[in-house]
Amino acid sequence: MKFTDSPVIELAVGESTLCLQQDNGSMHVGTSVWPCSLVLVKFAERWSPLLNPTLNPNPYSSLLDFRGKRGVELGAGCGPAGMGLYLLGLNDIILTDIAPVMPALKHNLKKNKPMLKKTLKTAQLYWANGAHMKAISPPYDVVIAADVVYLEETVRPLVETMAVLMAEDGVVLLGYQLRSPEAHKLFWEGCAEVFEIEKVPHEHLHPEYNYEETDVYIFRKKKDNWQFLMRRLLLKDIDWIMEVFSNEITGKTKADHQLLLLIGEMENVNSA
């Protein structure tokens, strides 16, 4: 379902209004604006501690307190989710997508520059592409993704990318709608291996952006995630992993020690 065929979609976020231009005639789904993004932003707006400091109780106050956090959006399309969360305080954010969608993304960032007061960062990022992930310097505190689960073959790379990019105590904020039963099954199986999954109750969504078919999820890393990730990635590109995680490795947390042990084990296996 597309939200509207109108070429321009307005999204009010706090005192600001984003103006998003979409091209529904293009062959790339990323040049349209999809409801998941709007639902995700309006959920975050409803519970934003920045906009509603006196809201009490607020079960999402710490999750949505973006001060000092780094964010990355995967499959940003025209950029509504990334821009919306930026307006809610996620100041250090980078929006990513595939090459053919970058013109639509950049066009929308330019159009909204007066509202955003700056041009947000963008990068080409094809899911699970090691060089692309490395180029944006993980880890990230907040990984944003909206309506990105629709092709079976991209599901595993997507889950891998989320896991690689997010910090140990980071979160994924996901706007989700079922698009393909096959992709759906693979995605949730993959996520269950890597993440603790929390579904936002529908009554917590914004009353005006609350559709039966659209959900918001919060993922946090499972404690044994490092092993899972390394097992999947190590055989492919050990040098890349060592480089990407070098900061964590020298930081010597418990997870780092686990990683070092695992790398040692895998090196033994490889050289045997």
Ligand X SMILES: C[S@@+](CC[C@H](N)C(=O)[O-])C[C@H]1O[C@@H](n2cnc3c(N)ncnc32)[C@H](O)[C@@H]1O
Q: How far is the CB of 178 from ligand X (least distance, A)?
A: 13
- Which position among 36, 164, 230, 234 is part of the footprint of ligand X (CB under 6 A)? 36
**Adjacent-strand bridge partners of 122:** 95
**Adjacent-strand bridge partners of 199:** 217
For ligand X, the closer of residues 34 and 219 by Cβ is 34
For ligand X, the closer of residues 53 and 103 by Cβ is 103
Judged by CB under 6 A, which stretch of 93-101, 166-174, 215-223, 256-264 contacts ligand X?
A: 93-101
Judged by CB under 6 A, which stretch of 41-49, 113-121, 125-133, 244-252 contacts ligand X?
A: 125-133
Does residue 80 belong to the site contacting ligand X (CB under 6 A)?
Answer: yes
For ligand X, the closer of residues 146 and 166 by Cβ is 146
For ligand X, the closer of residues 83 and 194 by Cβ is 83
Does residue 98 belong to the site contacting ligand X (CB under 6 A)?
Answer: yes
For ligand X, the closer of residues 150 and 240 by Cβ is 150
Convert residues 139-168 into a mask of x (bound to ligand X by CB under 6 A) and - (unbound).
Answer: -------xxx-----x--------------
- Binding footprint of ligand X on the chain (CB under 6 A): 28-30, 33-34, 36-37, 75-78, 80-81, 97-98, 101, 125-127, 146-148, 154
